[in-house]
């Protein structure tokens, strides 16, 4: 379906495979939350805390679960997962301007690059020798694709993205602006003359449907490749070091950093600001809470944390002082227990 | 006032509205700290710890508080806030080269973009359809401004900055190199087929006099806009997620990250590396110390912290082990107290 | 030596100054770890845990220490530091495509810039007035070099790097894509009208053989310069604030942040995600472990840490609650000790 500014409720029900109740010809011109929707918008009710808004919403229609269908007399789309329904509909209402077709005259494309049908290359973009851009790839203005890299079907680089040489991407990959894929891993050997650079001879491989956030960096491998499997999503300002491997559908929130040669399983979620040290293995299904540091391998699915809770700085300073006395406190506690026990014997 | 390399002390006093004492025709060719100033430079005394340098400074003149005026016999500018005076003077002594006037021939500017008088567009910059650049806007070389974005009067993008479509900026905004404004918020719905992208339909609105540091990222909103109000200043490598709202004159230091839909009040200061989880509200006048994680809303002004103090790693390891035993230690302490109390009853 | 795809074992022994044992004419077409090497590759044994692979490796030859030479009957290079040998050899096997010679026709180079022999300037790069590029400098596509900056011999900017005006680099410096050198330090004075910008009048000075990772930011100084001495290596997404000084051969891993005016000595190593507050001094030879916050000066070499260990979130929450009770726990412990002592007196 091509984007339009208005849809009938029937068309949206068909798109989602949702049950429609009410006026099928209702015109929908946008999406919104149930509390903020205006009378030409379709709202969704995903969070049970917001059920109270069913009484007051001005929405033209509401997407809700079967269990709540009877609670709302107005126009509705009934769907097992309303949030997923909303997510799918956003593609219909995304009116972001399209990049012009073809190769902009100011772009610099090496004669040996291969551009399939439907490829768009933006103004002042640079495509080096031997690059392969598959069908419908979009290269944003001022972006760079290094020699011999390959970008899969319908993938998109936004403006000012940088792909070094020897990077391979699957289909439907999205790379946001400022992201850098394939810079050298941080490898140096100490010597009497200072650090000797370990040239990074591997590449980077991104699977299908990978999304990489703005200003995120994914380094090339030292000998082998750095690998993100299908469906991995990465937020902004994330650092993924050389030879990291990330399993399918794992999600990594902003400002996280993953050190070299660490592997992460499938369906993991790292909250923002998480750090993983190098050379460890995280199994499938692990969640790490915000700004935690993972210092060893994790072999059981579950949620993991480090750090301390927040408090007023004045209170916190007292706790922080005591933290550094903890070992002594533990010894004093043991001594007391012993003394108390011997008195009672 | 246009920049010059030399000013008389009188001219600087007039610029600041400061009381001048000494030789008004003294020529000043630079600014410096009181300890490092040479004899053609104007120094400032802001930190009382540096008062001792009044005796030895070689400065041509000193900016100081009325209370200290008598302590210094030389040329001086007397001002209630010497550091603020220094800050204001830096604009006169900033000899950074100016970008060439007009639109560089290598820039690619869409015919439908509107460029007001005095706009400068650098080499290889790209300006898309429907963009509006108000009077005296400067677009740095290799920067990108997406379709229908609007940049207010006298704002400046440095080189290699990226503005997506549908971003609105006020007047006198400064965007440093590598910053990315308006990339997609990190919104995905889980499904049996993996993550389904939630297209981000909102924009970004920056008020007047906002400054955004190098390689900082500010994402567009999911439905509504992400908003930074007038006078917000943001350092380098900061992540501001979708639908965050930041109140007037709040300052955010480097490497901080603010998760989605969180609001921050006016006149707050986040030190470096601070993290805020999503969907919380921070009231006006809050300070958060370095690398603290804020996990819940803050309703009272004040300073907040998390984390632990630093120590030698060998000592720290003992404390860290004990940290994970804290709940047991607390129970043992309670048991001892009970036992002791029952013995004494 | 120019790069080739194949080398004889003798040539590699000569390059390293290693003792060769076995067939000197063995053809080596790549490098690998001892466990993964194929029969045309040279492996190295650096980690004693991998000694077991000497029995099963398929490598064409192995670099190993003199102590282990007798343990391996095959072709070998005997060297005191096998990892360093491997590091040196990577330069021979790095087949990254070379940037085209000369200045690309689409680059915009100001007439007043000075380009020495052998300088390469990539497509759509922009070089401003007064810039000096010494012999064999390589400027990547879409990069920017601001007015009056100077880049030393054989240094390289990768694509989309940004160098502001007035930055000075030594020889053999490497700047990865997206790095920003010389943006304004985060200096503002509070006033009744909001934040007043402190124009940053200093520059940035990088010594010889400095390497700066992708999307790392190094700010210009307020009055003096920000300085990285010879041989400093910096990973991706690191923030180095104004007037920081970093001593020779110090290494800084990804996602670290160093606040303004802090100095770091020689031969220090900061692990990933480390934070240093401003205006402190770190002596030579300090190591800081991952995601630690350094809040005061360090005057003795050694390893330093902050934070807590990781645990399951459910367990962690109990410890985090107790952390905020630590001062009270310590008082209760003291009270018990006193009570117990008085009973025993």
Contact B83, B34 (CB under 8 A): no
User: Which residues of C are known to be catalytic?
Assistant: 242
Contact of C141 with C161, CB cutoff 8 Å: no
Helices B9-16, B82-90: axis angle to 10 degrees equals 110
Q: Which residue carries 């010809």 as its tokens?
A: A25
Contacts of B326 in chain A (CB under 8 A): 326
Per residue in A189-213, pLDDT tens?
999 999 999 999 999 999 999 999 9
Q: Check C290 against A292: CB less than 8 A apart.
A: no
d(CA C71, CA C54): 8
Question: What confidence score (pLDDT) does residue A197 get?
Answer: 98
- The 8-class DSSP code of residue B75 comes to S
Largest CA distance in chain A: 93
What's the burial of A69, exposed, middle or buried (CB within 10 Å: 0-12/13-18/19+)? middle
Question: How many whole angstroms separate alpha carbon B59 and alpha carbon B40?
Answer: 7
Residue C266 confidence (pLDDT): 98
| CA A66/CA A79 separation, integer angstroms | 6
What's the mean pLDDT in A109-114? 98
Mutate to test the interface with B, among A272, A317, A329, A333 (most CBs of B within 10 A): A272
What is the spatial distance between Cα C136 and Cα C130, in angstroms, rounded to a whole number?
Answer: 18
Strands B61-64 and B41-44: parallel
Q: Which residue has the tokens 């117990």?
A: C340
Confidence of residue A308 (pLDDT cuts 50, 70, 90): very high
Identify from A255, A312, A329 which residue to disrupt to test chain B contact, counting B C-beta atoms within 10 A and taking the largest count.
A255
| CA-CA-CA-CA torsion sign (C54, C58, C59, C60) | positive
The pLDDT of residue A3 is 56
Which pLDDT band holds residue A343 (cuts at 50, 70, 90)? confident
Q: Could you give the CA distance from residue A54 to residue A151 in angstroms, rounded to a whole number?
A: 46
Please report how many Cα atoms fall inside a 13 Å half-sphere around the Cα of residue C248, on the Cβ side.
6
Interface of B with A in 264-303 (CB under 8 A): 275, 277, 287, 289, 291-296, 302-303
pLDDT in tens, chain C (345 residues): 455 789 999 999 999 999 999 999 999 999 999 999 999 999 999 988 899 999 999 999 999 999 999 999 999 999 999 999 999 999 999 989 999 999 999 999 999 999 999 999 999 999 999 999 999 999 999 999 999 999 999 999 999 999 999 999 999 999 999 999 999 999 999 999 999 999 999 999 999 999 999 999 999 999 999 999 999 999 999 999 999 999 999 999 999 999 999 999 999 999 999 999 999 999 999 999 999 999 999 999 999 999 998 999 999 999 999 999 999 999 999 999 998 888 776
DSSP bridge pairs for C311: A305
User: Facing residues of A106 across strands?
Assistant: none
Contact criterion met (CB < 8 Å) for C189 and B312: no
Q: How far off is chain C from B54, nearest CA to CA, in Å?
A: 19
CA neighbours closer than 13 Å in the CB half-sphere of residue C3: 15
Task: Express each pLDDT in A208-227 by its tens digit.
Answer: 999 999 999 999 999 999 99
Residues of A in contact with B184 (CB under 8 A): 174, 176, 213
Cβ proximity of A220 and C90 under 8 Å: no
For residue B142, the model assigns a pLDDT of: 98
For A73, the token pair is: 């007399």
Q: How far apart are CA B80 and CA B269, in angstroms?
A: 24
Q: Collect all residues with Cβ–Cβ distance below 8 Å to C80 and sequence separation of at least 6.
A: C65, C66
Note whether B160 contacts C160, CB cutoff 8 Å. yes
CB contact under 8 A, B142 and C146: no
pLDDT at residue B146, rounded to an integer: 98
CB C25 within 8 A of CB C9: yes
Bridge partners (DSSP) listed for residue B298 = B282
Q: Which residues of B320-329 are buried (b: 16+ CB within 10 A; e: fewer)?
A: bebbbebeeb
Which 3 state secondary structure label does DSSP give C52? helix
CA B163, CA C317: separation in Å to the nearest integer? 41
The pTM for the full model equals 0.97
Q: Comparing C-alpha atoms, which of A239, A138, A142 is closest to residue A183?
A: A239
Q: What is the biggest distance separating any 2 CA atoms in chain C, rounded to whole angstroms?
A: 93
Residue A341 has phi, psi (to 5 degrees) of -65, -45
Q: Which residues of chain B have pLDDT under 70?
A: 1-3, 345
Partner-chain contact A308 C314, CB within 8 Å: no
Contact yes or no for B40/B60 (Cβ under 8 A): yes
- What single DSSP character describes residue B80? S
CA distance B226 to B210: 14
CB contact A196 to C (< 8 Å): yes
CA A182-A187-A192 angle, to 5 degrees, is 150
* B132 touches C: beta carbon within 8 Å: no
Give ∠ CA A171-A177-A182 in degrees, rounded to 5: 65
> How close does chain A come to C83, measured CA to CA in Å?
7
pLDDT tens for each residue of A36-66: 999 999 999 998 889 999 999 999 999 999 9
Q: How far apart are CA B182 and CA B241, in angstroms?
A: 10
C-alpha to C-alpha distance for A23 and B122, rounded to whole angstroms: 54
Show Cβ contacts of residue B20 under 8 Å, excluding neighbours closer than 6 positions: B9, B10, B13, B76, B77, B78
Strand segments, DSSP code E, in A96-183 are 108-109, 114-115, 120-121, 126-127, 132-133, 138-139, 144-145, 150-151, 156-157, 162-163, 167-169, 174-175, 180-181
Other CB atoms within 10 Å distance of the CB of residue B6: 11
Q: In whole angstroms, how far apart are CA B113 and each of B28, B103, B148, B179, B332?
A: 44, 12, 8, 22, 72
pLDDT of amino acid A1: 44
* Both structure tokens of B150: 């609007």
């Amino acid at each position: 379906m091509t984007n339009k500014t208005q849809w009938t409720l029937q068309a949206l029900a068909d798109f989602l495979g949702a049950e429609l109740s009410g006026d099928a010809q209702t015109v929908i011109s946008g999406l919104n939350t149930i509390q903020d929707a205006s009378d030409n918008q379709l709202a969704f009710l995903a969070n049970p805390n917001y059920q109270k808004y069913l009484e007051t919403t001005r929405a033209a229609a509401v997407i809700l679960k079967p269990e709540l269908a009877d609670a709302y007399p107005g126009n509705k789309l009934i769907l097992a997962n309303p949030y997923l329904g909303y997510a799918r509909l956003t593609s219909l209402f995304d009116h972001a301007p399209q990049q012009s077709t073809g190769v902009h005259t100011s772009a610099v494309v090496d004669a040996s690059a291969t551009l399939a049908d439907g490829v768009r290359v933006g103004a002042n973009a640079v495509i080096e020798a031997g690059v392969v851009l598959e069908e419908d790839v979009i290269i944003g203005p001022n972006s760079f694709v290094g020699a011999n890299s390959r970008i899969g079907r319908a993938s998109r680089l936004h403006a000012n993205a940088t792909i070094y040489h020897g990077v391979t991407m699957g289909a439907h990959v999205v790379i946001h602006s400022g992201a850098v894929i394939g810079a050298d891993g941080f490898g140096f050997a100490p010597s009497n003359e200072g650090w000797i650079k370990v040239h990074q001879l591997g590449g980077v491989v991104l699977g299908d449907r990978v999304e990489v956030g703005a200003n995120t960096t994914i380094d090339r491998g030292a000998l082998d490749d750095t690998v993100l499997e299908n469906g991995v999503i990465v937020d902004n300002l994330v650092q993924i070091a050389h030879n990291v491997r990330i399993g399918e559908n794992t999600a990594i929130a902003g400002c996280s950093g993953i050190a070299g040669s660490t592997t992460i399983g499938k369906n993991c979620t790292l909250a923002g600001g998480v750090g993983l040290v190098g050379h460890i293995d995280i199994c499938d299904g692990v969640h790490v809470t915000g700004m935690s540091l993972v210092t060893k391998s994790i072999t059981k699915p579950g949620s993991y944390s480090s750090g301390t809770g927040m408090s007023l700085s004045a209170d916190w300073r007292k706790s922080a002082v005591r933290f550094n006395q903890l070992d002594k406190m533990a010894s004093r506690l043991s001594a007391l227990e012993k003394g108390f026990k011997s008195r009672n014997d």
